[in-house]
Structure 1
Amino acid sequence: MRLIYTFYFFLIGLSLLAQNNTPTYTWRMHLPYNSVRQIIEVDRTLYVLAEVGLYTFDLISGESTMLTKVDGFAESKVSNFGYSNDTKTLIIVYENGNIDLLKDNKIINLPGLKRASVGGQKFIYETSVIGRKAYLATSFGVVVVDLEKQLISADYQNLGAGGTTLEVFSIFVFNDTLYLATDEGIKSAPAYDSRVNLQNFETWKTNTTYKSTRLLREFNNNLFFVNDSILYNYASGSYSTVEAGVKKDYKSLITAHDKLVICRWEGVALLDKLFKLEEKKEPFMEYAIIDYQNNLWFGGFYRGLIKKWPDGRIDGFIPPGPYGLTTYDMQGYENTMYVTAGGHTNAYAPSYVNYGYYIYEDGQWLNRDLNNPVVGSMIDFTNIYINQNSGDVYLGSFGSGLAKLKNKVPDQKFTSANSTIKAAVDTREIALGMTQDSKGTLWVANYETEKPLLSLKKDGSWKEYNVGSNRIGEMVVDDQDNIWMLAPRSSSLGLVVVKENSNGGVVDRPLTTGAKNGGLPNNNVKAIVLDKDGEIWVGTETGIGVFYQPSLVFNPQQRLNADAQQIIIDDGIDIGYLLEKEVINDLKVDGGNRKWAATNNGVWLIAEDGSRILKHFTASNSPLPSDIVNCIGIVPNTGEVFFGTTQGITSYRGDATEAGTTHQNTLVFPNPVHSTYQGPITITGLPEDATVKIADVAGRVVYELIATGGTAVWNGLNFEGQKPQTGIYLIYSANKDDEEALVTKLLIVR
């Protein structure tokens, strides 16, 4: 029987505000919340662990709040968590071993386990809170956290036979005895006897009858556990089976409101104190609890948080977020961000990622409809190209052809059935890169085929071309309509440049390292972008190269001048080439013509000419979920910069937007500025590189600045470094030729 869920998508945090007014220099997390791995009820609030992120759901108001690095938490990827009623403390354990304690709205970080060397893998399988302590079941033993003293108080390692390393999968204290679920059986030792050395493996007794034990829980003075897919209970020295000893795929056991909530893949059931089992159905779930009103809450992979009322009604809740964690490419258009989930492996084999693509606008995420006849069956989406005039979006894929969206809706799919796209070495029809020239011709990289470069004219006709490599990918078109293409997995060259000839064919020129041959820093070119000065910037395994005169690329007399150049930079400590030690995964140009570089060492913001590093964000100094950043996208109208990392998406409201030659919907925010506000004041909708002057009503200029692209950011201080007094201030702005001026007002309240 198919269940129909009513889903409520709730807004949180800054998404309740006008999106264009997101404060400059602030961060936001964009994590997938459609999978549920763990649920705990605390004081009429549910704490829910999704694929990686943690959020709360208020059972009274229905409001939800995300708990992320933006809020001061240490990491993004949560392994599991627990709550102590005795100390009113939430303990959050991350996959890398880092630990946060949340008490009285204050975060206390315990990094000891993260930093510790354990001589092997460091998995935390479960956090079991008993009284004032949390017991962490890990891949190397047991870690004890004293929640009252807020420190790691003990660890028990090498508990296996003969003192070997032993994984502990679950922990519980029952009748003053500490029980461990392991693959050697159920181990037990006195929990509170200070005379007992729990760090000595010989202290522990082992019941080898029940090997491969999981999910230890106490309910109604019985110890329940799962062994070999059978649920058992232990009481008064004897063991017995539950559910007639039938093997099932048990996911979680939770004690809540005088019930043992049993979640198995086959369905959810409730066991009461009389050992009466009540089936609730709901198969394919990972976790289940009941709340104080006897409502059943459960969740699983891609199902969201689901509520089942006592009368059988079902509601579902999913916070806004992308469908999956993975990213491949990002491209912005007006106020919208488009993201593809990927992709292919590093060896250019299919990755079989079925998350599709994600579209972000006005605080909401729209995800690919699996039932859509155009894109529903497509997988491994790769590069994105957006026609900045029409807004048409083209999505490449690593095996499913090419898709076109109009007004965010799937419109067409191009395959071998209706285009010159052909299959590669097997049946995969790969469209790995796209761009459009000044005539409106769409160019497509049909990777690893005999004629890999394709064109789609405005009249709908397709054509295919031989070029210098059959392995071509991401591409851009320069101001002369030359097509610059990456040549991935081509060891002897890094780029191929193509131009149309008078005969309707193309001329190509391969580019590689070395003088007069291209001057690339490295043949493994991973990113390419055209900046606002018409220069071609490329990112390689060993830094960045710039083609300052791309118009000379086909001039045989100017080969040296046509080569890429590496920028020499002096950071005050050393002199070298720009980011020469970094792998450049992606490059994007913002409204101020500055370059954002995605690397395996975070994100770098580079000055327009490449002479300075303006910012360097890492997972250690910012809310970036991971140092490995795959891709970057910039929303043109807001300047919000999106980063796709190996652990999800985050965004940063930058201080540069796209601009024209005139004022466009000029806006000052926040306005008014209250005495409690300490952040920047942002003026958007300005002409490119406009001069901005802030003056009082008497005409005295208190500050002056130049816009970056279409945005100017004022720190709120006057020329003397002081805060201006209460009053109305006039903001004058003019384009760089002083041909157009605008005056707007700002109220400051001290």
Structure 2
Amino acid sequence: MRKRILILLALLPITVFSQEFSSLWQDHFSYNNVVAIANSNEALYAATENAFFRYDLLTNELQKVSTVNGLSGDDISSIFFSDEAGRLAIGYENGLLEVYDINTQDITTVVEILDKQTILPNAKAINHIMEFNGLLYLSNDFGISLYDLQRLEFDDTYFIGPNGSQLQVRQTAIFEGFIYAATNVGVYRAPVGSDQLIDFNQWTIFGNTQGQDWLAITSFGNNLIGAQSDQTLYQLNGSAFVAATSFSNPIEDVVANDQNLIVSISNSVHIFNLSLTEISTFSTFTNYPSVAYNTAIAIGDDIYSGTTEFGILKTAIGNTSTVEEIHPSGPLFNSIWAIDAKDNQIWAVYGDQTISYVPSPLLFRGISYRFPDQLWESIAIEDAFNAPNLIKVNINPQNTTDTYITSFWSGVLRIVDGNPDLIYNQSNSGLEGINANPMGVGVNLRISDTKFDAEGNLWVLSSITDEALKVLRTNGQWQGYSFSSLFPNEFATQGFAEFVIADNGFKFIASARDGLIGFSENGGVNGGPLLKSLKGEGDNIPVNDVRALVIDERGDLWIGTEKGLRVIFNPEDFFTDDVRVDEIIVLDDGEASELLFQTYITDIEIDGANNKWIATNDSGLFYFSSDGQETLAHFTEDNSPLPSNSVKDVAVDNETGEIFMATSKGMVSLRSSVVEPSEDLSNVYAYPNPVRPNFTGNVTITGLVDRANVKITDIEGNLVFETTSTSGSVEWDLTAFGRHKVASGVYMILASNEDGTDTKVAKVMVVR
């Protein structure tokens, strides 16, 4: 039996070192939901949903570690810090193990459990990590695995159930010569000194625990403490566990140190001394009237509590009059639904809707934003008029201090300089709700999207209403346009994803059931509006559920659906018989194929070079050339810091070139050199400047006009680089025409427009 199990589990090492992306990428994860905490003598380590941060206990400095630094981005379930090894072990819900070296900051990814075929995918979670005699004991959903943190390799694996069956092990503890395991069917134990623990016969159900669901077990002083799912804490008394104390809410975590036992309940934290006397408890604080707790640890006289919304709350044992909130700056949540970015500001909302555009459940969440050179800020839902299901963000392009956010239930919020000042709804605007209100909350006013036209008028798209498209004119007057010619029954307009406005004023709308809808204010019968839908195979729309639209710099209309990509190269002819809907055909190994065939597209954006950023529901993010013929990049969770291949939304800040990617597990951004061209060359500059010896990236020259000629020479006038810009910036790799790295010195940047009538000279210093 021993030999057979070793063959199954002692796999060849499948350990890789994660890649570092931090030179170009930045994470915008939420660090508010702390799921596990570990500590060393110098620092505290707090794991959030898919990242962690380090808090220096002496200096109070914060350092965050995420996919940008090489983490996987998967769901974290446990962490443990080994003082002996100087390494942090991170366990995941899917069985992945990652090891972070605090000295080198290297991350080792261990996939043996994750890739194990004989264990069901939903039974691999690493629930708890304990260290004993130089080995980590991983409590898994299938048993116990031992990992050597010094050698970075697995040791034995114990299947402790009857006949070697798999059991869900939640936590292990060493007590008086035995190893105890809290499982979903009782507490098992075995002599810890045995060299035959791989034999299931060494493991026996303990005392009166059989058939009971045990959540935790830990040694504390001269006691062995356990917790069951019945909200009760138990103490070992001879050969049986007896109830020590019960709580009114579920137990989330039980942690012990030399002096204190800390029990985290869903809405409170309780601290016990070595005599199991409760010496302190807390639930809420003056500025935190409602707190949900995941875990807590004691360091000295302080308690550090991991919460779901406030990161870590630090308070003193026995004196909870003061509390300190600890976590890096970031959005409120990782489950971002929509974003927008302009002029170096970024906004995020967390609403939701079903795939058929039903606002269920109603999510009352706030809003997050970051202004230039500032930390993330949040707007509480109470300050946002208690509007649920916020699903679209629209920064006013003519006045970027104003932001408009749509609620798929309550209307349109206007936010000025980060302060919500009104909400457009049925009572103060031309917007209309629907008659059916099955959830009985609010007004049921389903706003899908907003856009500004060139004249500054605000257009608003609504679902399940006759006048689906309305406009707020600059004179303050509202006007509505009926869609009844397309939808005799207003409930047929169940869902619109978004709309775009062309230079000629045409509006194009992505609908759930009727493909692509076009609208023009005039040109119809008696000068009325024009309304037309393209859908189905006859119009070359692969599926009637259209999810994404963008009009590029050439005026072409790009269309993303649940089943692929289409382009209209002549959208000005939309209301004629000459309009055509085309696929993008590319050559793949000499074979013609349709670009993004059958791919679920969630968003399409363009950058300053008219290149296309196309987000997908399960295939990551694609970056294509302006005509779609060249794949410039394909970002996935395997080759980039994307925490998930499900990309919900993309925003391109053409002022800075930063590309923001909101996924189902958080947001990251990529610093691109592609920015919108300037009108002249008066603001040409290079960064970084100076270039210091440890810099390994490219120098960016920005502030250029389109098709600017850029030459770089050394101080003696020798040409080392020349190119023509296709956007507002170019990059220089610090080599002389790609042959060798340039030496230290001052280099001249000579920029001129296409006809040479506008020129600019700038400098950059290189220090080797």
Quick one: which amino acid aligns to residue 371 of structure 1?
A: E
The answer for the alignment partner of 1:291 in structure 2 is 299
Within the alignment, does 1:452 sit opposite 2:492 as a pair?
A: no
- 1:328 pairs with one of 310, 329, 337: 337
> For residues 547 and 139 of structure 1, do their structure 2 counterparts lie closer, same or farther at Cα, with a shift above 3 Å needed?
same
8 Å CA contact 1:187, 1:207 repeated in 2: no
Q: How far off is 1:98 after superposition?
A: 1.2
- 2:346 pairs with one of 310, 322, 337: 337
In 2, Cα distance between equivalents of 1:429 and 1:505: 26
In 2, Cα distance between equivalents of 1:739 and 1:386: 35
The answer for the alignment partner of 2:380 in structure 1 is 369
- Match runs of 1:18-417 below 5 Å: 26-103=24-101, 104-105=103-104, 106-117=106-117, 118-122=119-123, 123-157=125-159, 159-160=160-161, 164-198=165-199, 200=200, 203-209=203-209, 211-227=212-228, 228-243=230-245, 245=246, 249-265=250-266, 267-282=268-283, 284-292=292-300, 294-309=301-316, 312=320, 313-350=322-359, 351-361=361-371, 362=373, 364-372=375-383, 375-391=384-400, 392-417=402-427
Q: How far off is 1:568 after superposition?
A: 1.2
In 1, Cα distance between equivalents of 2:184 and 2:537: 58
The answer for the alignment partner of 1:476 in structure 2 is 500
8 Å CA contact 1:34, 1:302 repeated in 2: yes
Q: How far off is 1:589 after superposition?
A: 0.4
The answer for the alignment partner of 1:465 in structure 2 is 481
Q: Percent identity?
A: 26
Within the alignment, does 1:662 sit opposite 2:680 as a pair?
A: yes
The answer for the alignment partner of 1:9 in structure 2 is none
Q: How far off is 1:196 after superposition?
A: 4.4
In 2, Cα distance between equivalents of 1:345 and 1:418: 28
Q: How far off is 1:650 after superposition?
A: 0.7
The answer for the alignment partner of 2:529 in structure 1 is 506
8 Å CA contact 2:254, 2:261 repeated in 1: yes
In 1, Cα distance between equivalents of 2:585 and 2:267: 62
Q: How far off is 1:262 after superposition?
A: 2.5
Q: How far off is 1:208 after superposition?
A: 4.4
Q: Deviation per CA, 1:499-535, whole angstroms, max 9, x where unpaired?
A: 01266742101012445x3x33432221101111111
Q: How far off is 1:88 after superposition?
A: 3.0
The answer for the alignment partner of 2:456 in structure 1 is 440
The answer for the alignment partner of 1:486 in structure 2 is 510
Q: How far off is 1:246 after superposition?
A: 5.7
In 2, Cα distance between equivalents of 1:419 and 1:249: 46
In 1, Cα distance between equivalents of 2:364 and 2:87: 38
> For residues 509 and 238 of structure 1, do their structure 2 counterparts lie closer, same or farther at Cα, with a shift above 3 Å needed?
closer
In 1, Cα distance between equivalents of 2:36 and 2:534: 52
The residue matched to 1:399 in structure 2 has which SS?
coil
Q: How far off is 1:317 after superposition?
A: 1.9
> For residues 28 and 363 of structure 1, do their structure 2 counterparts lie closer, same or farther at Cα, with a shift above 3 Å needed?
farther
In 2, Cα distance between equivalents of 1:102 and 1:24: 16
Quick one: which amino acid aligns to residue 298 of structure 1?
A: S
The answer for the alignment partner of 2:606 in structure 1 is 589
8 Å CA contact 2:414, 2:422 repeated in 1: yes
Q: Deviation per CA, 1:727-748, whole angstroms, max 9, x where unpaired?
A: 2111011233433211100111
In 1, Cα distance between equivalents of 2:398 and 2:676: 14
The answer for the alignment partner of 2:757 in structure 1 is 739
8 Å CA contact 1:259, 1:271 repeated in 2: yes
Quick one: which amino acid aligns to residue 509 of structure 1?
A: K
In 2, Cα distance between equivalents of 1:246 and 1:62: 34
Quick one: which amino acid aligns to residue 152 of structure 1?
A: F
Q: How far off is 1:603 after superposition?
A: 0.8
> For residues 76 and 708 of structure 1, do their structure 2 counterparts lie closer, same or farther at Cα, with a shift above 3 Å needed?
farther
> For residues 192 and 345 of structure 1, do their structure 2 counterparts lie closer, same or farther at Cα, with a shift above 3 Å needed?
farther
The answer for the alignment partner of 2:665 in structure 1 is 647
- 1:419 pairs with one of 425, 429, 434: 429
Quick one: which amino acid aligns to residue 110 of structure 2?
A: L
Q: How far off is 1:238 after superposition?
A: 4.8
In 2, Cα distance between equivalents of 1:549 and 1:193: 77
> For residues 258 and 449 of structure 1, do their structure 2 counterparts lie closer, same or farther at Cα, with a shift above 3 Å needed?
same
> For residues 640 and 147 of structure 1, do their structure 2 counterparts lie closer, same or farther at Cα, with a shift above 3 Å needed?
same
The residue matched to 1:115 in structure 2 has which SS?
coil
> For residues 295 and 454 of structure 1, do their structure 2 counterparts lie closer, same or farther at Cα, with a shift above 3 Å needed?
same
Q: How far off is 1:163 after superposition?
A: 5.6
The residue matched to 2:293 in structure 1 has which SS?
coil
8 Å CA contact 1:448, 1:472 repeated in 2: no
Q: How far off is 1:120 after superposition?
A: 4.9
In 2, Cα distance between equivalents of 1:655 and 1:300: 39
Q: Deviation per CA, 1:706-736, whole angstroms, max 9, x where unpaired?
A: 2242111111111252112222111011233
Q: How far off is 1:671 after superposition?
A: 1.0
Deviation larger for 338-347 or 596-605 = 338-347
8 Å CA contact 1:86, 1:131 repeated in 2: no
> For residues 179 and 291 of structure 1, do their structure 2 counterparts lie closer, same or farther at Cα, with a shift above 3 Å needed?
same
The residue matched to 2:169 in structure 1 has which SS?
coil
The answer for the alignment partner of 1:16 in structure 2 is none
The answer for the alignment partner of 2:744 in structure 1 is 726
8 Å CA contact 2:191, 2:202 repeated in 1: no
Q: How far off is 1:435 after superposition?
A: 1.9
> For residues 133 and 237 of structure 1, do their structure 2 counterparts lie closer, same or farther at Cα, with a shift above 3 Å needed?
same
Q: How far off is 1:348 after superposition?
A: 1.7
In 2, Cα distance between equivalents of 1:24 and 1:87: 25
Q: How far off is 1:579 after superposition?
A: 1.6
8 Å CA contact 2:365, 2:380 repeated in 1: no
* Number of equivalences: 713
In 1, Cα distance between equivalents of 2:678 and 2:688: 23
Q: Deviation per CA, 1:123-182, whole angstroms, max 9, x where unpaired?
A: 33222333422222222222222223322223234x445665432222222223221212
> For residues 76 and 514 of structure 1, do their structure 2 counterparts lie closer, same or farther at Cα, with a shift above 3 Å needed?
closer
Within the alignment, does 1:674 sit opposite 2:674 as a pair?
A: no
Q: Deviation per CA, 1:68-103, whole angstroms, max 9, x where unpaired?
A: 121123334322111223333311112222111123
- 2:637 pairs with one of 619, 623, 628: 619
Quick one: which amino acid aligns to residue 286 of structure 1?
A: N
Q: Give unmatched runs, 5+ long, in structure 1.
A: 1-22
> For residues 300 and 127 of structure 1, do their structure 2 counterparts lie closer, same or farther at Cα, with a shift above 3 Å needed?
same
Deviation larger for 446-455 or 282-291 = 282-291
In 2, Cα distance between equivalents of 1:657 and 1:156: 56
8 Å CA contact 2:207, 2:240 repeated in 1: no
Quick one: which amino acid aligns to residue 530 of structure 1?
A: I
Quick one: which amino acid aligns to residue 405 of structure 2?
A: L
Quick one: which amino acid aligns to residue 205 of structure 1?
A: I
8 Å CA contact 1:81, 1:90 repeated in 2: yes
CA RMSD in angstroms, aligned pairs only: 2.3
> For residues 24 and 728 of structure 1, do their structure 2 counterparts lie closer, same or farther at Cα, with a shift above 3 Å needed?
farther
Q: How far off is 1:24 after superposition?
A: 10
In 1, Cα distance between equivalents of 2:527 and 2:51: 53
8 Å CA contact 2:62, 2:327 repeated in 1: no
The residue matched to 1:529 in structure 2 has which SS?
strand
Q: Deviation per CA, 1:358-391, whole angstroms, max 9, x where unpaired?
A: 212325212222331xx24011111222331122
Q: How far off is 1:646 after superposition?
A: 1.1
8 Å CA contact 1:728, 1:748 repeated in 2: yes
Within the alignment, does 1:696 sit opposite 2:683 as a pair?
A: no
> For residues 304 and 668 of structure 1, do their structure 2 counterparts lie closer, same or farther at Cα, with a shift above 3 Å needed?
same
Deviation larger for 71-80 or 107-116 = 71-80
In 1, Cα distance between equivalents of 2:601 and 2:752: 37
The residue matched to 1:112 in structure 2 has which SS?
coil
